[in-house]
Structure 1
């Protein structure tokens, strides 16, 4: 009987862990504001209160910060965000990072308002540059968003001296980019370095000669899904929609 109770308790805890994720501190004030507004809406009219409750739950869900199983094998470059691979093309990294005029392979991960928005470092290294640039707020899934939208770019130098760039790009409804890293600091693969509110995109620029191991439309898990293999001669991934 005791074992049955123990197994039932473990099953219940797993179910709770599945649906209730820890929330990033950045979200506390927003959830509190939504909750206060919900109480006011309930006082005005019950249907409005229930709508407010739904929006409060969504706000909590937006700022969730789940733990991730980050691969630690040397040379694995992981996705900086949850979302869908929306672009794979060659492009010049943001000029403010000082990475030169040569075009590199850029992999873009688009985040909807339902994705986790905590951003994670694609690979371990030293942050050599952090550059914020104000801009417009086009839909982040569009190609021109990389050039014209508000953005925050980081250059990360790996142990072998090569650099990758990771760029936080604001989207149609995003109005705030947050970055906690400064030049000279180090990051680990999968380490949290920032977030964007509310709906946006992350671009990763790969070193020359490194081929992406993802395909357009592929669903990514920040800090877990592998984008590329550094230091390994692997061809670009081929895929089909089936």
Structure 2
């Protein structure tokens, strides 16, 4: 299964690859070069399909737990001052996605969308310390009745050129459901209450909608 954000790109890629194969077959006479170009085209198509895959998940559901919004590796766990919305100290947990990870973004907790805002910006590498404040990004706050407010931030990386955010203020959302997509490498930051019990460690690999990041 592929994410809807990739349907157009996948179709275009198929057309380009088929055209490339036909052109190589017609105009390239050296067998070894033909095979090489065929292999490059096949790998390119495979990578596009891998990037936009949207595998079925056994989604976790729990009022007192926050799940990972994305697939990737935990790269930050620290207390920070969140400047945009809370304007106080929060626990930040950041998950970095490589281009080979599933890039679907999921709601980390159920509740009502209290805030949703897009920010244009730079394209620093996603692990850069200033990426959370200077890169293209979206900020979403979910107000959960049992957990309180949770903020997550989609951050574009050096290769990411488009962030898709489905969160609409006032809308009720379900934990683990599709909240957006980030194209070609990125990071997602979670900002949680200070009394949160973090359930992950640095460099731990997590799966969107399944891995528990924190509990009250």
Normalising by structure 1, we get a TM-score of 0.82
* The one of 71, 81, 87 aligned to 2:76: 87
Alpha-carbon offset, residue 35 of structure 1: 1.3
Alpha-carbon offset, residue 164 of structure 1: 0.7
Q: Which deviations, in whole Å up to 9, do the C-alpha atoms of 1:123-145 show, x marking residues without a partner?
A: 11100110100111111022221
Alignment of 1:159-238 (within 5 A): 159-160=145-146, 162-230=148-216
Cα distance in 1 for partners of 2:22, 2:209 equals: 43
Q: Which deviations, in whole Å up to 9, do the C-alpha atoms of 1:91-133 show, x marking residues without a partner?
A: 23351xx32x212110000000000000111111100110100
Corresponding position: 1:130 with 2:109: no
Normalising by structure 2, we get a TM-score of 0.91
Structure 2 unaligned runs (5+)? 25-33
Partner of 1:102: 88
Looking at secondary structure, tell me which structure has more strand per residue. 2
Q: Is the 8 A contact 1:213 1:228 kept in 2?
A: yes
Corresponding position: 1:119 with 2:105: yes
- Which structure would you say has the larger RCO, counting Cα contacts within 8 Å and 6 or more residues apart? 2
- Aligned CA-pair RMSD: 1.3
Partner of 2:17: 38
Alpha-carbon offset, residue 177 of structure 1: 0.2
**Matched residue pairs, number?**
206
Partner of 1:52: 41
